[in-house]
């Protein structure tokens, strides 16, 4: 008897699309310094597009809302989306603005420095989002970042909230966010730098991660996941305070790792995994991505993620016992949830 295949969860991503121009260097240049580099490559990028591609490869049925220019970069980007099985009917080709580009330096230790010219991304409008209202309402999760206008992010969050669809917001690039937006967010996924900007609390160890996460929960966010690179991710929700360890891999390029994390997280949650299981799945996807050059090219396929999760010692902490990041330390509860929190239906500006 044949088993019925599990339907792919519908994931909707609102965000940016860029073409990344990457130079590999021994180290990142200092201000005013010129360094002769090595390999130069171009790759598809943009935080929104990265998340969409990551979600599609992780097993999601993905729709992407974005703007690109009517140029070779935009055409190539849309072709790539279709090849990854992403529904691109809401990717608008702007008649005036160029496609976004990012200039990226990658050091030999995997660290990077990035500058972005937004182009058409800066013109993604509330009307673009409202045109996809029905698609938003039918999604299992809406995923967003901050490389498009904040008013557009707000509009998408409001539409999702009214339809009782969870909103996953990656607050990057880092900026201050209004309470009316945070109150609509089901899961906020800052890294250490972004968490500090949002809360004023420097995240240096598990204790400070707890304080930063609780400050964000107090502002109305249902769940906070602070991504910590190789250390993993710290999860805070109503009944959870847990550090989910990362994976020990040799980094080649960390560009896009956070985007891969968010795309994979949305898929895992959309499939009905617990919050902790979903973070482990996302950690595995992100770990694979840093072993490869480029943002979208580094996003792993579903079978690769599952293989890493199934490997011996897969959940061994990528932590040092002396750096202040203990797993299950004093005052930290390790409690798995059966799902992820939804904000109550509200009008804009009202606290759930």
Active-site residues, by number, are 259
Give the position of tokens 């309402």: 137
Give the position of tokens 């710290």: 234
Three-point CA angle 267, 65, 144, nearest 5°? 55
Judged by DSSP in three states, 104 sits in: strand
Q: Of 266, 278, 203, whose CA–CA distance to 240 is shortest?
A: 278
Give the position of tokens 């919050």: 275
How far apart CA 217 and CA 193 sit, in angstroms, is 17
Alpha helices in 200-248 (DSSP H): 206-218
Q: What does the buried/exposed string (b/e) look like for 122-153 if buried means 16 or more CB atoms within 10 Å of the residue's CB?
A: bbbebebbeebeebbeebbbbbbbbbbbeebb
Three-point CA angle 115, 173, 92, nearest 5°? 80
Instruction: Kindly give the interhelix angle for 257-270 and 275-289, rounded to the nearest 10 degrees.
Output: 150
Measure the N-to-C terminal CA separation of the chain; round to a whole number of Å.
Answer: 47
> Which residues have CB under 8 Å from 26's CB, separation 6+?
35, 107, 108
């Amino acid at each position: 008897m044949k088993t019925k295949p599990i339907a792919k969860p519908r994931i909707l991503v609102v965000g940016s699309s860029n073409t990344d121009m990457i130079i590999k260097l021994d180290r990142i240049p200092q201000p005013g310094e010129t360094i002769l580099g090595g390999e130069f490559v171009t790759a598809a990028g943009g935080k929104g597009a990265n998340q969409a591609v990551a979600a599609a490869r992780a097993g999601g049925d993905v729709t992407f809302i974005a703007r690109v220019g009517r140029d070779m970069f935009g055409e190539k980007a849309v072709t790539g989306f279709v090849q990854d099985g992403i529904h691109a009917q809401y990717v608008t080709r702007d008649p005036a603005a160029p496609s976004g580009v990012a200039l990226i330096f990658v050091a030999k230790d995997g660290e990077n420095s990035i500058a972005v010219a937004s182009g058409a991304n800066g013109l993604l409008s509330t009307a673009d989002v409202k045109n996809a209202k029905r698609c938003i309402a039918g999604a299992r999760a809406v995923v967003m970042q901050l490389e498009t206008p904040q008013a557009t992010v707000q509009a998408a969050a409001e539409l999702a909230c009214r339809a009782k669809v969870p909103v996953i917001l990656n607050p990057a690039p880092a900026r201050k966010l209004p309470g009316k937006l945070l109150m609509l967010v089901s899961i906020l996924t800052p890294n250490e730098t972004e968490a500090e900007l949002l809360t004023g609390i420097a995240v240096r160890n598990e204790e400070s991660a707890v304080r930063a996460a609780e400050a964000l929960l107090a502002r109305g966010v249902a769940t906070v996941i602070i991504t910590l690179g190789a250390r993993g991710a710290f999860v805070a929700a109503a009944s959870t305070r847990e550090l989910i360890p990362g994976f020990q891999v040799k980094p080649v390029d960390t560009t896009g790792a956070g985007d891969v994390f968010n795309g994979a997280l949305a898929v895992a949650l959309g499939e009905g995994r617990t919050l902790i299981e979903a973070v482990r799945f996302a950690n595995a996807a992100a770990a694979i991505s840093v072993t490869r050059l480029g943002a979208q090219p580094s996003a792993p396929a579903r079978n690769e993620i599952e293989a890493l999760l199934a490997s011996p010692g897969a959940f061994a902490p990528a932590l040092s016992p002396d750096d202040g990041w203990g797993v299950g330390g004093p005052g930290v509860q390790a409690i798995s949830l059966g799902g992820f929190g939804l904000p109550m239906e509200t009008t804009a500006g009202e606290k759930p």
